[in-house]
């Protein structure tokens, strides 16, 4: 990904920052859930202002403490989804700048290659530039998360047919590809991080 260029280093730092923020959110969530489990067991019917009197947001939330564990789980889902949206936006912006950077260095006929899927457009250009096949799984992974980003950003209740068909066509291959790496993809037709908690060794 042009690792020695300003383009790659800038976007890699952005992605690292998103990852760090997700990890911090998970740390905060874990600590809150640890405290909340005891409070919810003792005072399930009390409202947040009574239990968290010193917290300036307790009136705004105003829920029974017994309802907070589910609310906390929903909040974690939102944080993870926002992480996906931000990461995909950074990656797609990077793909665009990479192509602009390459064209400015050495313009070729490949610059005219166009595809509605940004990651596929770059894959085709890389193959034209290098004269060799690129590892398709990397680009298909970006495609999967691009469609997942669309799902979250557009507030769809059900997976869009494009996302469902993409998963059906690529899930097995991508799971097999990423199973060999430290990070596993666990692709499924579900768009909720159902029962998912960020592991402590997440990178």
Residue 188 falls inside a structural domain: no
128 domain-assigned: yes
Task: Say if 202 falls within a structural domain.
Answer: no
Provide the whole-model pTM: 0.79
Mind listing the pLDDT tens digit for each residue in 48-98? Answer: 999 999 999 999 999 999 999 999 888 888 888 899 999 999 999 999 999
CB within 8 Å of 190: residues ≥ 6 apart: none
Cα-based distances in Å from 84 to 104, 148, 165, 184, 191:
30, 8, 20, 15, 11
**Number of compact structural domains in the chain:** 1
Whether residue 183 lies inside any domain: the answer is no
Measured between alpha carbons, how far apart are the two ends of the chain, in Å? Answer: 19
Q: What is the pLDDT of residues 113-160, one digit of tens each?
A: 999 999 999 999 999 999 999 999 999 999 999 999 999 999 888 889
- Residue 64, strand partner residues: 47
Domain assignment of residue 10, yes or no: yes
CA 83 to chain CA mean position, Å: 5
| Per-residue confidence band for 19, with pLDDT thresholds at 50, 70 and 90 | confident
Give the DSSP letter of residue 189: S
């Amino acid at each position: 990904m042009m690792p020695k260029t300003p383009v790659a280093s800038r976007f890699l730092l952005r992605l690292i920052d998103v990852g760090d923020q997700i990890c911090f959110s998970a740390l905060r969530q874990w600590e809150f859930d640890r405290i909340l489990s005891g409070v919810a067991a003792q005072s399930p019917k009390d409202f947040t202002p009574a239990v968290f009197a010193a917290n300036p947001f307790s009136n705004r939330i105003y829920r029974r403490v017994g309802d907070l564990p589910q609310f906390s789980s929903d909040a974690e889902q939102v944080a993870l989804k926002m992480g996906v949206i931000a990461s995909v936006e950074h990656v797609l912006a990077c793909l665009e700048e990479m192509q602009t950077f390459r064209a400015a260095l050495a313009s070729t006929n490949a610059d005219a290659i166009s595809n509605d899927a940004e990651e596929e457009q770059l894959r085709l250009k890389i193959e034209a530039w290098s004269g060799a096949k690129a590892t398709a799984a990397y680009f298909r992974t970006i495609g999967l998360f691009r469609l997942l980003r669309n799902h979250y950003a557009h507030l769809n209740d059900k997976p869009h047919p494009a996302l469902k068909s993409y998963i059906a066509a690529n899930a097995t291959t991508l799971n097999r590809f990423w199973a060999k790496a430290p990070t596993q993809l666990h692709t499924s037709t579900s768009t909720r991080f159902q029962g998912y908690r960020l592991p402590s060794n997440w990178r």
